[in-house]
Amino acid sequence: MKVIGVPVPGAPLDRPYVFVKLETNAGVVGWGEATLEGKAGAVIACVNDFREFVIGSDPMQVEHHWQSMWVHSFYRPGPIAGSAISGIDQALWDIRGKLLGLPVYKLLGGPVDPRGVRGYYHAGAATRDELIKLRETAIAQGITCFKTGPGGRTWEWIDSHAKIDASVKRMAMLREALGPEIDIGVDAHAKMSPAVASIILKEIEPLKLLFFEEPCPPENARAMAKIARRTATPIATGERLVSHYSVRELIELDAVDIIQTDINHVGGISALMKVGAMAEPAGMALAPHACEGPIGGIATLHADAAMPNFLVQEICSGAQPGQKEKIWEEWLGFPAMRMVNGFFPLPSRPGLGFELDEGVFTKYPFTGSRSMARIFHDDGSVAEW
């Protein structure tokens, strides 16, 4: 087992990629991703802590290894151990698919849609003119969905009408400029209280957003449920939640419409599929978060492709590929996580669908963790990122 930290130009400084490589005595190699924002060094150490759980074992027993890492940790994993488990689990599924000669999504029972996995990019446009140009690009590329923020760097628990009005006007401009055919998701990044979120959601109901994401911290399930009862706009959350156990309260309280757990944090392919299975009978959809590297992004497509209640897949990229996407293509030999006519194509090769030479990482030496941005309110108190 090897764990490799890889910072690349064009990717956020707070999330150098953490890749896990498992080598078998049969010569089959599996890859996974354990990237965690702001905690790369801690995750690398935690992956190494799980070495004795993995070395010398049968890689086909994926569920057994997942249970052992989770239960035998005694203290239930949070985001650091959850991300470490995620990377190992993805690599085990990659090996499993390669040994059986099938893409992972076929092992999971997919694909549901032969076109691939519907996705969205981040809007990355601030003015009306920029949004109109983005709409033209979307029509030309077949993009059907974008995500953006509500405006406003920080939000107080009870905020001013001026700030609320500015946010509502921004979202109205988004809808007007992008047009009715393109779906829009808005991510509040847990910056709001139930009161502020409820006011904004009432005002923007006519915009018919695809979803409003993380209006308040996801661990506050009852606050999320309060917001959901006050609006017809679908509520989404979950990128910071670890394992399928963490979504149980959201489901029981009927607190959200869409769950967005991240394959690099939730516990890998095994846990993401369990989240989908728990959400499906509750009438909830899955729209997984993915704002890290290409291996986790590819892995999540396999899970998406086999979920009957999958909605749409995030990738933290724009409609035009940037520097990091070009690096990904150099590594993998194909444009990873780039949509074709609004869909991420599914790999046809066994396992996760790629081979990778770890030598490509040598030009990007790991230099340690970088903290996420620290945001403060005007009075100096701590604000949500």
Report which of 28, 41, 23, 24 is spatially closest to residue 84, judged by C-alpha positions. Answer: 41
316: DSSP letter: S
Q: How far is CA 81 from CA 44, 74, 78, 162, in A?
A: 10, 12, 6, 42
Active site residue 302: no
Q: What percent of the chain has pLDDT over 70?
A: 100
Dump pLDDT digits (tens) for 177-205. Answer: 999 999 999 999 999 999 999 999 999 99
Report which of 347, 290, 372 is spatially closest to residue 103, judged by C-alpha positions. Answer: 347
Lowest mean pLDDT among 190-194, 278-282, 336-340: 190-194
3-state secondary structure of 29: strand
What is the structure's pLDDT at 153?
Answer: 82
3-state secondary structure of 65: helix
Dist CA 177 CA 132 (whole Å): 5
Q: Kindly state the average pLDDT of the residues 152-164.
A: 85
Q: Kindly state the average pLDDT of the residues 116-139.
A: 96
Residue 45: both structure tokens together: 């150490």
Dist CA 7 CA 17 (whole Å): 6
What is the structure's pLDDT at 156?
Answer: 85
Residue bearing tokens 């006050």: 230
Residue 108: both structure tokens together: 């999971």
Dist CA 218 CA 228 (whole Å): 13
Sorting pLDDT into bands at 50, 70 and 90, what band is 173? very high
Report which of 356, 304, 326 is spatially closest to residue 31, judged by C-alpha positions. Answer: 356
Q: Kindly state the average pLDDT of the residues 120-136.
A: 95
What is the structure's pLDDT at 217?
Answer: 86
What is the structure's pLDDT at 220?
Answer: 87
Contact assessment for residue 266 and residue 235, using Cβ atoms and an 8 Å cutoff: no
3-state secondary structure of 324: helix
CA 126 to chain CA centroid, nearest Å: 23
Rounded to the nearest 5°, which phi and psi values hold at 223? -65, -40
Using alpha carbons only, give the angle 322, 325, 327 rounded to the nearest 5 degrees: 110
What is the structure's pLDDT at 91?
Answer: 98
What is the structure's pLDDT at 218?
Answer: 81
Active-site entry in 244, 289, 302, 377? 289
Dump pLDDT digits (tens) for 248-267. Answer: 999 999 999 999 999 999 99
Sorting pLDDT into bands at 50, 70 and 90, what band is 366? very high
Which domains occur in the chain, in start order? 2-103 (3.30.390.10), 106-349 (3.20.20.120)
Is the pLDDT at 158 greater than 90, yes or no? no
Is the pLDDT at 319 greater than 90, yes or no? yes
Q: What is the mean pLDDT of the chain?
A: 95
Active site residue 289: yes
State the alpha helices, DSSP H only, in the chain. 40-49, 51-54, 62-71, 79-100, 104-107, 128-141, 161-178, 194-204, 221-229, 248-252, 268-279, 294-305, 323-332
Contact assessment for residue 228 and residue 255, using Cβ atoms and an 8 Å cutoff: yes
What is the structure's pLDDT at 159?
Answer: 81
What is the structure's pLDDT at 55?
Answer: 96
Burial category of 56 from C-beta neighbours within 10 Å (exposed 0-12, middle 13-18, buried 19 and up): exposed
pTM: 0.96
What is the structure's pLDDT at 85?
Answer: 98
Q: How far is CA 114 from CA 101, 139, 141, 179, in A?
A: 19, 22, 19, 28
Sorting pLDDT into bands at 50, 70 and 90, what band is 305? very high
Dist CA 280 CA 147 (whole Å): 24
Sorting pLDDT into bands at 50, 70 and 90, what band is 378? confident
CA 337 to chain CA centroid, nearest Å: 12
Q: Kindly state the average pLDDT of the residues 46-75.
A: 96
What is the structure's pLDDT at 385?
Answer: 82
Which residues lie below 8 Å from residue 354, measured CB to CB, with a gap of 6+? Answer: 31, 298, 332, 333, 334, 347
What is the structure's pLDDT at 152?
Answer: 83
Q: Kindly state the average pLDDT of the residues 282-287.
A: 98
* Percentages of the chain per state (helix, strand, coil), in multiples of 5: 40, 15, 45
Report which of 225, 364, 352 is spatially closest to residue 295, judged by C-alpha positions. Answer: 352
What is the structure's pLDDT at 219?
Answer: 83
From the CA atom positions of the chain, what is the Rg in Å?
20
